[in-house]
Structure 1
Amino acid sequence: MPCSNVSNSGVLLQFASRIAVNAGEKNLPPLHLWQPQKIVDIDLSIDHQGQWFHQGDPFIRTELVRLFSTLLRLEADGNYYLITPNEKVLVKVAEVPFLIVAADVTTQADKPVIQLATNVSDTFTLDTEHPLRVITQANGEPRPYVLVRDGLEARILPQVFYQLVELAQMREEHQQTCLYLTSAGAEFQLGCFD
């Protein structure tokens, strides 16, 4: 489906106004109910560091980034869109849309529970609904991700990942030492080494 190109910066403010009217008050908006066919391209993007841009200029207002982040959806075509009842706005995402910027560990029933926070103020528990996965890059460095919601992932920043590694337990498997992290009764492998 073709995208209409819009260069007027006022369109961004109009779009934000429509979002504010259509968004839920306390919870996330009901994106699953909205299936707009009209696609708009106003040159929105998110870089590798989670910074949002409009026509190459970084967003300054964190409230606007938070608002837009609640309307973000990854669709079957592999593209990210901001969804409203009437239209969807293409968002070019360099890697994943969010970053994990903090982790807090508590215990419940003598079991560790890890709460994670994103750069757009989402907070959630690392568990089976929000699993962690680690990709080993070509240089051998781990690249950890966690599912935030509805197919949207966050990359875990290195300082947070190192905090999680310190909480992990070692286990010998297939002549390797593997690190496992437990949270809310779920177990996640962080990686293995010789």
Structure 2
Amino acid sequence: MPQANGLGELLKQLEAADGKSLPPVEKWSPDFCGDMDLVIKRDGHWYYQGTPIGRKRLVKLFSTVLKKEGDDYFLVTPVEKLGIKVEDAPFLVVRMEHMETEQGAVIVFEDNCDNKVLLTKDNPLWVELDAKTGEPSPYINIRSNLNALIHRNLFYELVAMAQEKTVTGDKHLGVVSAGEFFSLGKI
């Protein structure tokens, strides 16, 4: 496992890796201009008018102006607001790194738009179970109220490194990052 000196240093490295700050979409409140035929699929692929967007740079650009209001998603600029569809979560975690710091173990996730996030109480992980199938879907908060579905193979890696802990009388399997325990489910 890679070694980082401390949690604060790791957070600074992640912010610097971003290269530039994101547009202040939370401050923008333009008029709604209508819906755009853009869909973000559960598998993380973006489709415009039924055709996959093949240019990752374009997807990354769009992702920087993505905003969620209630249950609805929009691409926004200071003067426009276009509705889009998101099947599940707008991002998909595709990489994970487990590291040791002076403060203990941390897990860093990276999504399909190159956003990196440290698993902490501010960016928590949680698992939702499908009501019909019982299938687990793990998520992490990426920024603001935008979340990412964690790819199934990474979920299996999390389960492999998990430990048991009793939480409010129930045994849970979970992982520890930045001093916090994140449940993957009851056992």
Deviation of residue 140 (structure 1)?
2.7
Indicate whether 1:100 and 2:89 are aligned.
Answer: no
For residue 119 of structure 1, the aligned residue among 112, 115, 118 is 112
DSSP 3-state at the match of 1:60: coil
Q: Counterparts in 2 of 1:65-84, with a 5 A limit?
A: 65-76=59-70, 78-84=71-77
1:60 to 54, 67, 74: 54
Runs of 5+ consecutive residues of structure 2 not aligned to the other structure: 1-18
Q: CA deviation at 1:175?
A: 8.1
Find the structure with the greater CA-based Rg.
1
Tell me how far 1:139 sits from its aligned partner: 2.3
Q: Determine the structure 1 residue equivalent to 2:137.
A: 143
Contact 2:171 2:186 (8 Å CA) reproduced = yes
Q: Check whether the contact 1:104–1:116 (CA below 8 A) recurs between aligned residues.
A: yes
Say whether the 8 Å CA contact 1:112–1:183 is kept in structure 2.
yes
Kindly report which structure 2 residues correspond to 1:11-30, keeping only aligned pairs within 5 A, or say none: 26-30=20-24
Counterpart CA distance in 2 for 1:190 and 1:152 is 20
1:164 aligns with 2:171: no
Structure 1 residues 107 and 90: alpha-carbon distance in aligned structure 2, compared to 1, 3 A threshold: same
How far off is 1:155 after superposition? Answer: 0.6
- Equivalent residue, structure 1, for 2:44: 50
**Equivalent residue, structure 1, for 2:177:** 183
Cα distance between partner residues in 1 of 2:165 and 2:177: 17
2:47 is matched by which residue type in structure 1? Answer: F
Within 2, Cα distance between the matches of 1:50 and 1:90? 18
* Equivalent residue in structure 2 for 1:129, among 112, 122, 133: 122
Bigger RCO of structures 1 and 2 (CA < 8 A, at least 6 apart): 2
Cα 1:71–1:185 shift into 2, 3 Å = same
> For the residues of structure 2 that align with 1:181 and 1:72, how far apart are their CA atoms?
29
- Report % sequence identity: 39
1:103-146: CA deviations, max 9, x gaps?
Answer: 10111115111000001110010101110111122323211111
Give a deviation string over 1:42-82, Cα, whole Å, max 9, x none. Answer: 31111111111111111011000000001101113x21001
Matched length: 168
Which one of the candidate residues 80, 89, 94 is aligned to 1:87?
80
Query: Which secondary structure state, in structure 2, belongs to the residue aligned with residue 49 of structure 1?
Result: coil
